[in-house]
Structure 1
């Protein structure tokens, strides 16, 4: 029997344990398989994407999608307005369902910065506080006279205290004004469009109401709105 030297045995064992080389054709084959799989996945993705778009278009045509979009738009509409004043902040809930057109106008005015620097130019104790860009003393006396008849008090929300509204007639170029009632007022339905309700900051409203005024109910010390912030949640 032929004896193998230990050194030769060691070299043979190293050759057996060493990894075998991968041929170039095998590498090319694997690469082709990967490319085919990627192409298949991409084609599948495009197919289902197109199918989803077609389903959405069909839903829109039947009205189902339109309802979904309407719900989405409603969720994007701010539900609250924070009126920052020199006396503090007042938070009001907006009545989008009850006064949609007025709320839309209010939101648009906020985005344009309409209320920044607006002065409270009319303060009538136990009645209303009003912020606006135009002063009309004559109208104040008319409001006060109408507001004194409390015998016909209505239970409508429009007659509660701390309601947020705006004048129905704004033909003087003053733009959107802000009115907050400070007592239940029964006779202002023809004067005010109510579009919200104060839910926080009633003490700030009352502090503004207590300001000293002249004979035309104009505050002697300037009180103004610094900014109005729109929010989805509070």
Structure 2
């Protein structure tokens, strides 16, 4: 039996332990798979990133649209009312923010022509002039009774003159009445919903206040409102 030389055995051992070489085709396949996976991950990331940005922009856009609508509605509400009376013009600044519901009712009544030809039914010197509901005497009678004890009233309860208001009692728009104070009125808010202030034409209010009246505070001559003009600016 022939003996195998030690060098030949060493060479055979090395051949068995040497790793198999990777083919070019396998390397190419692995490269393609890797590129596809990277592209898929990148495409997925980009898709969700763009979607998130679009949702954020859409939400911001909706908020902006809603804000623009609200601002537009606010800007569309008239800020002033000009009463053209048989004595002259009275300009009133409307309290859109302080009394929005009453102002809306007033504007609606103006647009329907409710105040055209309305008479001032009650005139109480140093108190109020009233236009509208001729049967609503509760407010007038209460204030005139207070006038007798005017000096005993607390000073802090007084309110400014030349304020525009309507009855505090619930009423239909068809019966919308108005009051313009001609002096500081005690406990005004308990009786009226104040929704404006005379800023021009105080002399006209005072002229109406000075007309002759009967024992029920009704003017002896006809004094009324010809029409009302609503304006954004004056």
TM-score, length-scaled by structure 2: 0.70
Q: Which ranges in structure 1 are unaligned for 5 or more consecutive residues? A: 1-53
8 Å CA contact 1:118–1:133 kept in 2: the answer is: no
Q: Which ranges in structure 2 are unaligned for 5 or more consecutive residues? A: 1-54
Q: Alpha-carbon deviations, 1:13-58, whole Å to 9, x = none?
A: xxxxxxxxxxxxxxxxxxxxxxxxxxxxxxxxxxxxxxxxx99964
Q: How many equivalent residue pairs?
A: 178
Alpha-carbon deviation of 1:139? 4.4
Q: Alpha-carbon deviations, 1:205-229, whole Å to 9, x = none?
A: 0000000000010000010101000
Please name the residue that 1:229 is paired with: 229
CA separation in 2, counterparts of 1:115 and 1:95?
A: 19
Choose 212-221 or 137-146, whichever is displaced more.
137-146
8 Å CA contact 1:162–1:180 kept in 2: the answer is: yes
Please name the residue that 2:129 is paired with: 129
TM-score, length-scaled by structure 1: 0.70
* Alpha-carbon distance change, 58 to 178 in structure 1, aligned in 2, over 3 angstroms: same
Q: Alpha-carbon deviations, 1:177-219, whole Å to 9, x = none?
A: 1110000112222110100000000000000000000001000
CA separation in 2, counterparts of 1:134 and 1:174?
A: 13
8 Å CA contact 1:127–1:183 kept in 2: the answer is: yes
* Alpha-carbon distance change, 56 to 102 in structure 1, aligned in 2, over 3 angstroms: farther
Higher radius of gyration, 1 or 2: 2
Q: CA RMSD in A?
A: 2.3
Alpha-carbon deviation of 1:141? 1.7
8 Å CA contact 1:137–1:216 kept in 2: the answer is: no
Please name the residue that 2:181 is paired with: 181
8 Å CA contact 1:165–1:179 kept in 2: the answer is: yes
Please name the residue that 2:141 is paired with: 141
Alpha-carbon deviation of 1:146? 3.2
8 Å CA contact 1:132–1:174 kept in 2: the answer is: no
CA separation in 2, counterparts of 1:95 and 1:89?
A: 19
Please name the residue that 1:154 is paired with: 156
